[in-house]
Amino acid sequence: MTSRAGRTKQRLFEATLKLASSRGLVGLTVDEIAAEAGVAKGTVYYNFGSKDQLIDALLRYGVGQLADRLRAQAGEPDPVAGLESLVDEGLAFIAEYRGFSQILVSEMWRTPGQWHETLTLLREEIISIVEEQLRRIADAGRLPEGVEIPTAAAGLFGTLLVVALDWQVFQPRRTRADVRDGVLALLRGFTR
C-alpha cells in the first residue's frame, strides 16, 4: 500500500485495530475510527463505503498477510521442518499483529458472527496451507495412520491462535522460542 489511497486505508486499518483490540468490533463507530486515524468521517465512507466493509477489508488484508507468510515457509524440503516453520511464522505474525489476532479469535468463533461468511473463507485459506503441509508429512510416511488431516489442520490452527494469544496476554515474558517449542512438542507427539 504505497499510494496515497493505500496509506489512508492503512491508517484506517491501524486505527480500527487499535480501537477494536480493547473494545471489540461491534461497538465501534465510524466517527471513532476516523478520529483515531486523523481523517474526516467521509474518508471512511469514500474508501470503504461503511464500517462493515472496512472491517471486512481489514480481515481480508490481515489473513492475506498471514497466508503469504505461511506459504513462504511451506517450501522446506523436510515436511516436518516445514510445519515447524509454519508454527514459528504464525507465532511471529500473532506477536507482531496482536490486535488483529485478538479480533480474529473473537470474531471467528462468534456464532453467528457479523463477518462469519468472510471469516469462513479466510479460515479455509489458512487451514488449506496447514493441510497441504500435513499431507506432505503423510506422503513422507511421517504421520501416523488414521490422522484425519482436515481435523488436524483445524486443530493446529486453533491451537496456535489460542496458545499465541495466551502467551501475549498472560505470559508475555516467555520468548517466542519457548512458546514455539511448547507447540512443537505437541506436534512431535503425532509426527515421526
Q: Tens digit of pLDDT for each residue in 46-95? A: 999 998 898 889 888 889 889 999 999 888 899 999 999 999 999 999 88
User: Are both 67 and 146 inside the same structural domain?
Assistant: yes
Based on the fold, state whether residues 84 and 162 are members of the same structural domain: yes
Query: Same domain, yes or no, for 64 and 107?
Result: yes
In this structure, are 45 and 58 located in the same domain?
no
- Per the structure, the complete domain to which residue 136 belongs is given by 51-188
Query: How many domains is the chain built from?
Result: 2
Question: Across the chain, where does the E strand assignment appear?
Answer: none
State the CATH number of the domain containing residue 170: 1.10.357.10
- Looking at the fold, whether 84 and 139 belong to one and the same domain comes out as yes
Q: What is the pLDDT of residues 146-166, one digit of tens each?
A: 899 999 999 999 898 889 889
Residue 33's CATH number: 1.10.10.60
DSSP labels, 41-92? HHHHHHHHSSHHHHHHHHHHHHHHHHHHHHHHHTT-SSHHHHHHHHHHHHHH
Mark which of 25, 49, 73 sits at the end of a domain: 49
| Identity of the amino acid at 129 | I
Joined together, the cell numbers standing for residue 175 give 520468548
Cα within 13 Å of Cα(180), Cβ side:
17
Same domain, 153 and 111: yes
Provide the 3-class DSSP secondary structure of residue 143: coil
- 84 plus 27 within the same structural domain: no
For 86-122, b/e burial (b = at least 16 CB within 10 A) is bbbbbbebbbebbbbbbbbbbbbeeeebebeebbeeb
pTM: 0.84
